[in-house]
Amino acid sequence: MEIIYTDVLCIGAGLAGERVAIEAASAGFETICLSIVPPRRSHSAAAQGGMQASLGNSVMGEGDNSDVHFEDTVKGSDWGADQEVARIFADTAPIVMRELAHWGVPWNRVEAGKDFYFKGGKKFEKEEKKEKHGLITARAFGGTAKWRTCYTADGTGHAVLYTVDNKATEMGVKMHDRTQAEILIHDGVNCYGAVARCLKTGKLRAYIAKATLIATGGYGRIYKATTNAVICDGGGQAICLDTGIIPMGNPEAVQFHPTGTVPTDILVTEGCRGDGGTLLDVNEYRFMPDYEPDKQELASRDVVSRRMTQHMNKGLGVKSPYGDHLWLDIRHLGEKHITTKLREVYDICTQFLGVNPITGLIPVRPTQHYSMGGIRTDKDGAVYGLKGLFAAGEAACWDMHGFNRLGGNSLAETVVAGKVIGEKVVEFLKGTEVKFSTSSIDDAVSKIQERIKNLENGKNGNENALDIRNAMQEIMMQDVGIFRNEKDLKDGVDKLLVLADRAKRIKLHSSVKGCNPEMTLALRVPGMLKLALCTAYGALMRTESRGAHTREDYPERNDRDWLNRTLAYCEEGKDLPVLKYEDPTPVYELPPGHRGYGEDLTIPADMSKLNIIKKPSN
């Protein structure tokens, strides 16, 4: 088997992985990125709307600064975030946006003078300042006090990923695409890289690294209806859980985006509502102001998604062969705005839905969108449980999003975390002598070889990988969706346990020389089931409602008993995940309170027990 040695192995070449790689390569370390697809096809490219940084250049962002951004982020998280991390994030985001401009991102810019904008279907005038002309501008997104979301038309993720990939190429980062990590190499204390499968040849390759990073993005594909790419199956999280000693943080925190389109589940950006789009029901009545008089369509995503579901449950959704939905209306923004600033939206509507959004309404409903939960790290990005292993981006629980992340904060997280954690990886490499252990390499290799052999021979049974995956996706939709309750969750956990057992008996029903697509899927299914179980079981045990985690039977946010973060482990020999809990944050710069939108049903914490600090003065 081919063995490749490197200083740094980045598993994942989306924005987070590449940004870390750039930091390591700039410090002179040999760096390899693995990716299932060519790096530029990573799902970061699909982000349309933009990324948040408190530059405050637009007149609508006047008075913005990292304190306001920090507060919005912590409120958005429903006080689930690590406030030290949220602080690092908010302070660093403006620098990183400017760095991206320096590297070539064609950010949209402030144009001095009067122009119009829409809020909730009404037209308003604003006047941009002369002295800000030509600086990076911003648009409105949900859950923010200011216009703070920097963008390049509606191809922000694309433009930023291409720029960052250009930079990585310039820095000599090596890209091994069509390569899927299958198992970590470790000895229970240190991590030494990973064994990966080549998706061109089906052959295994061992990557031995002094430092390893997991930046494999989200795991939305455990749900049937998701805006995520087909490759977002949690491979990175699964190989961590597989060690038995690395926990998932807050796996139950799953974001549903208000505007997944029906029936394809393709996202249309929050920018639609940020730019003034409205939500209508079956009677073409605008219902959000009735629920959220202040923020209306621009309350945080968890709130809007819940209100939409609530409204559809009253029978006011639009019936369709694909289930109920609501309408998104952007007609009033006009042809020019729609075909320039929202062009991807225009393309998606015309190509996939047969709707022209200039004249017609867009069918939407809440759809799985983002994994707040992820591999738990400390504020340096170091993964709990193994030395030499780091995680960043959507794959990680760093944890600035807590139980709900704000639109535009996740793209920004990838590059901010990439820079911060990249620096920590470099520090680690400079400060440590790594001795590889050959026995752990052999261990990992033989484990994965055996898994592959068993699948080919059907040593354990005759189950079909696809059937199991499909059943799991249905269970997650039905029992672990937006509104949750004990009965459904218990049911879901039980059904998932049965599937997990069946998954031990998967057999391939085809044989192909080289890379068999059925093998690629079969190798993923057991890991996806682990993630699904952590999500469902974490949700069952958390008897409160916080951020995106909504329990019908426990509607209160319970700061008295549940102001904590779930840590879910998959220990060898145990069917159910083992759950532990930790404080969400070492310090409270912003003590728990009302978010300013959504219902306020809080059972308060004993504030005297919380470590409340004043804002660190800079």
Partner 1 sequence: MSRTLTFEIFRYNPMDPDSKPHMQTYELDEYDSMTLFIALNRIREEQDPTLQFDFCCRAGICGACAMVINGRPGLACTTQTVKLPKKITLHPLPVFKLIGDLSVDTGTWFQNVNEKIESWIHTQKEFDPKAIEERMENALANEIFELDRCIQCGCCIAACGTARMREDFLGAYSINRLARFYIDPRDERSDQEFYDIIGSDQGVFGCLGLLGCEDVCPKEIPLIDQLGMMRRKMALRSLRQGKCS
Ligand X SMILES: Cc1cc2nc3c(=O)[nH]c(=O)nc-3n(C[C@H](O)[C@H](O)[C@H](O)COP(=O)(O)OP(=O)(O)OC[C@H]3O[C@@H](n4cnc5c(N)ncnc54)[C@H](O)[C@@H]3O)c2cc1C
- Cα 97 from Cα 184, distance rounded (Å): 33
Beta bridge partners of 370: 255
| Region 159-188 residues binding ligand X, contact defined as CB under 6 A | 180-181
Dmax over CA atoms of the chain, in Å, equals 72
Helix (H, G, I), strand (E, B) or coil at 493: helix
Contacting partner 1 within 462-521 (CB under 8 A): 466, 509-510, 512-518
Q: Which of 119, 129, 133, 447 binds partner 1 (CB under 8 A)?
A: 133
Cα 25 from Cα 13, distance rounded (Å):
14
**Residue 485 CB, nearest distance to partner 1 (Å)?**
32
Start-to-end Cα distance in the chain = 53
Our CB check for partner 1 shows the closer of 135 and 361 to be: 135
Could you give the count of Cα atoms lying within 13 Å of 168 in the half-sphere of its Cβ? 31
Interface with ligand X in residues 86-125 (CB under 6 A): none
Residue with Cβ nearer partner 1 (45 or 396): 45
3-class secondary-structure state, position 312: helix
Indicate which of partner 1, ligand X, none lies near residue 121 (CB less than 5 to 8 Å, by partner kind).
none
Q: 314 is written with which tokens?
A: 């009253």
Interacting residues with partner 1 between 320 and 379 (CB under 8 A): 321, 340, 344, 347-348, 351-354
Residue 613 burial (10 A CB sphere; 0-12, 13-18, 19+): middle
User: What are the C-alpha distances in Å from 2 to residues 183, 212, 349?
Assistant: 15, 18, 46
CA distances to 95, 274, 336, 342 from 121, rounded to whole Å, are 34, 11, 16, 16
Number of helices and strands in the chain (H, E): 16, 24
Q: Does residue 21 interact with partner 1 by CB under 8 A? A: no
Stretch touching partner 1 by CB under 8 A, among 24-32, 37-45, 248-256, 549-557: 37-45
Q: Is 310 or 449 the residue whose CB approaches ligand X more closely?
A: 449
Burial of 96 (0-12, 13-18, 19+ CB in 10 A): buried
Q: To which H or E segment does residue 18 belong?
A: helix 15-26
Q: Does the footprint of partner 1 cover residue 1 (CB under 8 A)?
A: no
Of the candidates 43, 87, 221, 311, which one interacts with ligand X according to CB under 6 A? Answer: 43
Selection from ligand X, partner 1, none that 123 binds (CB < 5 to 8 A by kind) is none
Neighbours of 60 (CB within 10 A): 19
CB half-sphere exposure, 4, CA atoms < 13 A: 21
Contact 73, 557 (CB under 8 A): no
At residue 329, φ and ψ (nearest 5 deg) are -115, 115
Total number of residues shown for the chain:
618
Beta carbons of 9 and 121 less than 8 angstroms apart: no
**Could you tell me which residues come within 8 angstroms of residue 489 by beta carbon, excluding any fewer than 6 positions away?**
479, 480, 536, 539, 540
Q: Quick check: 14 binds ligand X (CB under 6 A)?
A: yes
- Asked if 267 contacts 48 with a C-beta cutoff of 8 angstroms, the reply is yes
Any contact of residue 37 with ligand X (CB under 6 A)?
yes
Q: Does 527 bind ligand X (CB under 6 A)?
A: no
- Among the listed residues 176, 273, 365, 549, the single catalytic one is 273
CB of 51 to ligand X, least distance (A): 5
372 binds ligand X (CB under 6 A): no
Which residues between 556 and 595 bind ligand X (CB under 6 A)? none
Shortest distance in whole angstroms from residue 375 CB to partner 1: 22
Identity of the residue, 166 or 437, whose beta carbon is nearer to partner 1 in the bound complex: 166
Site for ligand X contains 531 (CB under 6 A):
no
Q: Which is nearer to partner 1, 112 or 578 (CB)?
A: 112
| 191 alpha carbon, distance to own chain's centre | 24
Beta carbon nearer to partner 1, 107 or 384 = 107
Point out which span in 58-66, 154-162, 280-288, 602-610 binds partner 1 (CB under 8 A). Answer: 154-162
For partner 1, which is the closer residue by CB, 151 or 291? 151
Phi-psi region of 223 (alpha: psi -120 to 50; beta: other; left: phi over 0): beta
Q: Which stretch binds partner 1 (CB under 8 A): 151-159, 249-257, 496-504, 561-569?
A: 151-159
- Alpha carbon distance 53, 144 (integer Å): 11
- Could you give the string, one character per residue 266-305, with x where binding to ligand X holds by CB under 6 A and - elsewhere? -x-x------------------------------------
Binding to partner 1 (CB under 8 A): which residues in 539-598?
A: none
Task: Tell me which of 157, 258, 577, 598 binds ligand X, using CB under 6 A.
Answer: 157
Cα distances (Å, whole numbers) of residue 222 to 171, 462, 542, 551, 578: 35, 22, 20, 20, 20
Decide: is 452 part of the binding site for ligand X (CB under 6 A).
Answer: no
Count of residues that bind ligand X according to CB under 6 A: 47
Residue nearer to partner 1 on the CB measure, 514 or 586: 514
The smaller minimum CB distance to partner 1, of residues 228 and 585, is found at: 228
Q: Is 360 helix (H, G, I), strand (E, B) or coil?
A: coil
Kindly report the backbone phi and psi dihedral angles of residue 358, in degrees, each rounded to the nearest multiple of 5, phi listed first.
-75, -30
Assess whether 176 carries a catalytic annotation.
no
Please state whether beta strands 248-249 and 374-376 pair in parallel, antiparallel, or not at all (unpaired). antiparallel
Q: How far is CA 435 from the centre of its chain?
A: 34
Q: How many CB atoms lie within 10 A of CB 602?
A: 20
Please indicate whether residue 273 is annotated as part of the active site: yes
Q: Which of residues 201-220 bind partner 1 (CB under 8 A)?
A: 201-202
**Residues in 388-447 that interact with ligand X by CB under 6 A:** 393-395, 407-412, 414
Catalytic residue among 257, 365, 401, 469: 257
Nearer to ligand X, 300 or 414 (CB): 414
Question: 425 near 96, Cβ under 8 Å?
Answer: no
Q: Which of 19, 139, 148, 167 binds partner 1 (CB under 8 A)?
A: 167
Residue closer to ligand X, measured from CB, 194 or 472: 194
Let me know: does 537 contact 486? Beta carbons within 8 Å: no
Binding residue for partner 1 (CB under 8 A) from 59, 145, 231, 578? 231
264 interacts with, out of ligand X, partner 1, none, CB within 5 to 8 A per kind = partner 1
* Binding positions for ligand X, rule: CB under 6 A: 11-17, 34-37, 39, 42-44, 46-51, 156-157, 180-181, 215-218, 227-228, 231, 235-236, 267, 269, 370, 393-395, 407-412, 414
Residues forming the site for partner 1 (CB under 8 A): 37-43, 45-46, 95, 97-99, 101-104, 106-111, 133-137, 152-153, 155, 158-159, 162, 166-167, 169-170, 175, 177-178, 200-202, 229-231, 263-264, 266-267, 321, 340, 344, 347-348, 351-354, 466, 509-510, 512-518
Residues with catalytic roles = 257, 273
